[in-house]
Homo-oligomer: A and B are copies of this chain.
């Protein structure tokens, strides 16, 4: 009974083999199917919890469990340490996801969570944009041109006829490097740096994916978007962190990925519960009621939902199994001698002291 370990390098091999476009298409299809069949009685997703701290560094370590009753249990653990990049040349976010066999409790898989998170966050915006954005959306606006912007653009380019991409970032270096980072996944669209005002005013679909500080939002204000603009608000995932101005939320149909969480951590923090629209799964399950959304202002409040992680993990595990990628390690005690916690010590005491010691590495 072994645990499948999928490292970042293993996931790289899967991505190279399957292709990024195919993987993103599969992620979008898998999330769509999961949202369409979501039912609160068959999936249990406790509110995510975590440790928030300022010593030894500013940090957040949170766990996101998800149980598809009777079939799958996963827990994603996400560390958010904003000083990582500057002080250690490490990603701000480090993450792993674990899957458990619900027959036995066995840890069946442990996987790097970074690629999975990027993939599912992009895919979720594509799912939302496909039902809320104008079908002929040609201009994508990106407020914030960091890592998330790349997967946002990639996902949107898979579902909308994007021709132009307007990018704004407060950091000129990030702005400069964006076209090269996104070139391969922009669906052939033209990528142009733009002013914040231009991005918000001109785009059909706008993704906000910034690292604005708590209490420092919103990230734009005073600019009138197109009447049919659809926003994917990706960056807000923390109490006090918001990107979209309140007046815009008040005029928009606001659709959270998961209502309870969005009211606590997302743009919906700014709203009263009755001002928040149905969650994305409800819009997908009752599409016929929501056709008019394409013609009005809409905001997808994407806080990151544990079900998205579970579904995307399943997708990557299936590829790993099919391709024979990853390593298998017997981690847990699975002795049939369940009554003897010391079974592995042949002759416990005092003979153990005389028994030859196992070879041990010297370092």
Chain A residues at the B interface, C-beta cutoff of 8 Å? 1, 5, 7-9, 12-13, 15-17, 19-21, 44, 46, 49, 51, 53, 55-57, 59, 61, 63, 65, 67, 69-71, 73, 75, 77-81, 84-85, 88-96, 98, 100, 102-107, 110-115, 118, 146-148, 150-151, 154, 174, 177, 181, 183-185, 323-325, 327, 329-336, 338-345, 347-349, 351-353, 355, 357-358, 360-363
Contacts and interface: CB of A to CB of B under 8 A. Distances in A.
Interface of A is mostly: mixed
A344 B107 CA distance: 28
Given A55-B70, A57-B102, A174 B339 contact: yes
A104 to B, nearest CB: 5
Given A20-B342, A177-B339, A341-B150, A94 B106 contact: yes
B349 A184 contact: yes
Contacts of A12: 344-345
A9 B100 contact: no
Contacts of A329: 5, 7, 327
A49 B338 CA distance: 25
Contact of A360 (B17, B174, B327, B335): B17
A186 to B, nearest CB: 9
A45 to B, nearest CB: 10
Given A104-B84, A105-B94, A55 B79 contact: no
B13 A94 contact: no
Given A93-B105, A94-B334, 17 more contacts: A7-B331, A8-B334, A13-B358, A51-B73, A53-B102, A59-B103, A61-B102, A84-B104, A89-B336, A91-B334, A94-B333, A96-B331, A147-B338, A151-B342, A184-B345, A184-B349, A325-B360
A259 to B, nearest CB: 20
A301 to B, nearest CB: 22
A107 B94 contact: yes
Contact of A361 (B79, B111, B324): B324
Contacts of A51: 44, 65, 67, 73
A358 B57 CA distance: 39
A80 B105 contact: yes
B8 A345 contact: no
Contact of A90 (B1, B67, B344): B1
A332 B95 contact: yes
B65 A53 contact: no
